[in-house]
Amino acid sequence: MKIWIDGQLVPQDEAKVSVMDHGLLYGDGCFEGIRIYNGRIFKLGSHLRRMWDSAEEIRLQSPYSMEEVERAIRETVSANQLTDGYIRLVFTRGVGTLGLHPFLCPVPTVFVIADTIKLYPQELYESGMQIIVAERRRVPRECLDPQIKSLNYLNNILAKIEAIDAGVLEALMLNMEGWVSECTGDNVFVVKDGAVFTPPPDAGILNGITRQFLIDDLGPSLGLPIQEKLFRLEEVYQADELFLTGTAAEVIGVTRIGDRVIGDGTVGPITRRFVSEFRARVSADAPED
């Protein structure tokens, strides 16, 4: 596998980051996960814009322009001959001293990995996924805005460990005010009486690119407008259908939360329409904007 790092495509075993890099020492940096479908890079423009927003929020200045990073991504995909797969774009603060001071790191490290991806097993898309509600709350926006896709994912990882301990793959997280926010690596949608809703960004979530694609594009084209609103866990338990979205997961139905069954315990008709329309849209001619 070829990795693009700091301006060069190199074999994987030559792609190295220093132990003095603040991405490693402090989780100081940001990243994106992006999909390749049938030779097209899904929502690359949106991912690059979100990457630049994250970097700006943490006052990290990329040494490469957005166009240069886009070129690096396309070069990495073609060097690895991928027509379907997953891209990881990372900016770290770079090599510095042992102190926190971010501006003593003169040059951010930039790298791009492009590889194949393992999805959740297909039967989960058909029978529905089981998740739990994490005890751990989502970090408040005032402390570290979840809109920043930072290299510091311990809040999510600790909730993910709760899920793994419970024998499931995802955990739903509440914010400090008790509103439903998102899962550890996926956004959440509820269906009730034919209406579809999802928490707004100010619930303290990462505004997922997949989430936004459903709101702007799939929902309207299916005649299923999606409303952003705050809701409590009770509304999730009383939902007819529940589904998650994310770059890796795509769209996947949830049929159980802990020991509670959602709806009739099967992946409902509206979730199925989103799952199949998503697949149809990305496999035909995935939008790259």
- For the chain, helix (H) and strand (E) counts, in that order, are 9, 15
Q: In the complex, what is the shortest distance from the CB of residue 178 to ligand PMP, in angstroms, rounded to a whole number?
A: 18
Residues that bind ligand PMP (CB under 6 A): 33, 156, 182, 185-187, 206, 208-211, 245-247
In whole angstroms, give the CA distance from residue 72 to residue 150: 21
Q: Which residue's CB is nearer to ligand PMP, number 182 or number 241?
A: 182
Q: In the complex, what is the shortest distance from the CB of residue 48 to ligand PMP, in angstroms, rounded to a whole number?
A: 12
Q: In the complex, what is the shortest distance from the CB of residue 281 to ligand PMP, in angstroms, rounded to a whole number?
A: 14
Residue 77 φ then ψ, to 5°: -60, -45
Catalytic residue among 2, 43, 149, 160: 149
Burial 20-57 (b: 16+ CB within 10 A, else e): ebbbbbbebbbbbbbbbbeebbbbbebbbebbbebbee
Q: In the complex, what is the shortest distance from the CB of residue 149 to ligand PMP, in angstroms, rounded to a whole number?
A: 7
State yes or no: is 149 an active-site residue.
yes
In whole angstroms, give the CA distance from residue 35 to residue 142: 30
**Side-chain half-sphere exposure of 145, counting CA atoms within 13 A:** 11
Q: Which residue's CB is nearer to ligand PMP, number 95 or number 196?
A: 196
Taking 3-state DSSP, the helix, strand and coil percentages for the chain, each rounded to the nearest 5, stand at 35, 30, 40
Q: Which residue's CB is nearer to ligand PMP, number 207 or number 266?
A: 207
- CB proximity list for 36: less than 8 A, separation 6 or greater: 42, 77, 82, 83, 84, 85, 86, 87, 114
Q: Which residue's CB is nearer to ligand PMP, number 76 or number 187?
A: 187
In whole angstroms, give the CA distance from residue 104 to residue 43: 34
Q: In the complex, what is the shortest distance from the CB of residue 185 to ligand PMP, in angstroms, rounded to a whole number?
A: 4
Residues 105 and 59: beta-carbon distance below 8 Å = no
Q: Which residue's CB is nearer to ligand PMP, number 186 or number 277?
A: 186
Q: Which residue is nearest to ligand PMP (CB)?
A: 208
In whole angstroms, give the CA distance from residue 43 to residue 57: 21
The helix (run of H) or strand (run of E) holding residue 127 is helix 122-127
Catalytic residues: 149
